[in-house]
Amino acid sequence: MSEFLRPELRALEPYVPGEQPVGKKFIKLNTNESPFPPSPKVVEMAAEAAKRLQLYPELDGGGLRGLIAERLGVEKENVAVTNGSDEALNFIFKAFCSPSSPAAFADITYGFYSVFAAINGVPFTVIPLRQDFSIDPKDYIGIEKNIFIANPNAPTGLTISQEDICRIAESNPKNIVVIDEAYVDFGGVSAVPLVRKYQNLIVVQTFSKSRSLAGARVGFAVACKDIIDDIYRIIYSTNPYNLSRTNLAAGIGAISDEDYTVANCKKIAATRERISAKLRGLGFKVTDSSANFLFASYPGIGGKTLYEKLKERGILVRHFDKPRISEYLRITVGSDEEMDILVKNIAEIIDSEAKI
Ligand code: PMP
């Protein structure tokens, strides 16, 4: 740390992304990427766009903004296109949260919420999930804070109902309610139609997971026009060209091939259910995930030990050394072949531990 760092940033604990190994080849089930490559349309359109990289990209998400709006049945003015959904979340913190307008989110949820709160100087309240990791909607009724809910939640994969989202939005009219739908395409129900009704609701989605574009960085926020204008105020005060020409073209390629996305999501959901059943058969506790990952623990072998043993065998999963979930692993749903190798290795580890 240099002597020049702003004092208020000295205690900041940056977000820790999942490992991105270079060199050794792992079966990589640790950052919820898609096992499938992007649609051929993505490759074609990004390559074409690369020919014009001497020019700044289009502003306001270019043609992608309208295509997202069309796909979701909202107006272009209801959509802000961002560099991954992390950027949307950061800009939402910047635009709407402050010391006098604090944030609230669950104790077990996406780890970036607390980091965005910290870097933007926003105080926050952590609301514990129930014992079974579900959200108790009552905890969010009329709390007068800006609420961030991942639905499906990460890393549990559990969902909250539309009725509960409505009650939460209605009871906090002076604050924003953000529904982070990074994983919604794998089995959740989107709150996008609710933005017409609730002027304080913001839905955030990403192209990173269901559209196989984690490497491109494309996300977006959907809300009433005034909120979207506010987000663009931040974009234009930070980096008006927040998505490169190639990002935007990749996004357009992906959204023009919805059949491909839908088919991949179906495959991932089917694999998730098949592997959940297998893990349960081996004695694992597995949450009812609606996302592209499983959240599972095995009585008798600690989460960290299992993570390390899988890593030794060339399989990377995610372990969070945090209260309440340190016995669990978050396992991205990969291809059927990858998941079969995972199950085989887990069964062998269990066997060898039993012999000790
Ligand atoms: N929200 C949640 C719940 C996530 O798990 C992630 C992925 N780490 C994101 C948002 C951000 O994804 P991206 O920036 O790739 O769109």
The answer, yes or no, to whether residue 36 has pLDDT greater than 90, is yes
Hey, is 106 helix, strand or coil? strand
Q: Is the CB of 150 under 6 A from ligand 1?
A: yes
Mean pLDDT of 299-306: 94
Residue closest by Cα to atom 2 of ligand 1: 182
Give residue-wise pLDDT tens across range 156-178: 999 999 999 999 999 999 999 99
Domains, the chain, in order of start with CATH, read: 18-36+259-351 (3.90.1150.10), 40-256 (3.40.640.10)
CB count in 10 Å sphere of residue 304: 14
What Cα–Cα distance (Å) separates residue 286 from each residue in 60, 217, 296, 300?
A: 41, 30, 4, 15
What pTM, to 2 d.p., does this model score? 0.98
Max distance between CA atoms of the chain, in angstroms, equals: 64
pLDDT band at 187 (very low <50, low <70, confident <90, very high): very high
Hey, is 226 helix, strand or coil? helix
**Please, are residues 74 and 195 in contact by the beta-carbon 8 Å criterion?**
yes
| H or E segment to which residue 352 belongs | helix 336-355
pLDDT at 23: 81
Please give the full DSSP string across 65-90, using - where no structure is assigned: HHHHHHHHTS-GGGEEEESHHHHHHH
Q: Is the CB of 181 under 6 A from ligand 1?
A: no
**Please, are residues 194 and 276 in contact by the beta-carbon 8 Å criterion?**
no
Q: Is the CB of 110 under 6 A from ligand 1?
A: yes
pLDDT band at 342 (very low <50, low <70, confident <90, very high): very high
CA distance 204 to 90: 11
**Please, are residues 30 and 317 in contact by the beta-carbon 8 Å criterion?**
yes
Residue closest by Cα to atom 7 of ligand 1: 182
Give residue-wise pLDDT tens across range 72-85: 999 999 999 999 99
Hey, is 18 helix, strand or coil? coil
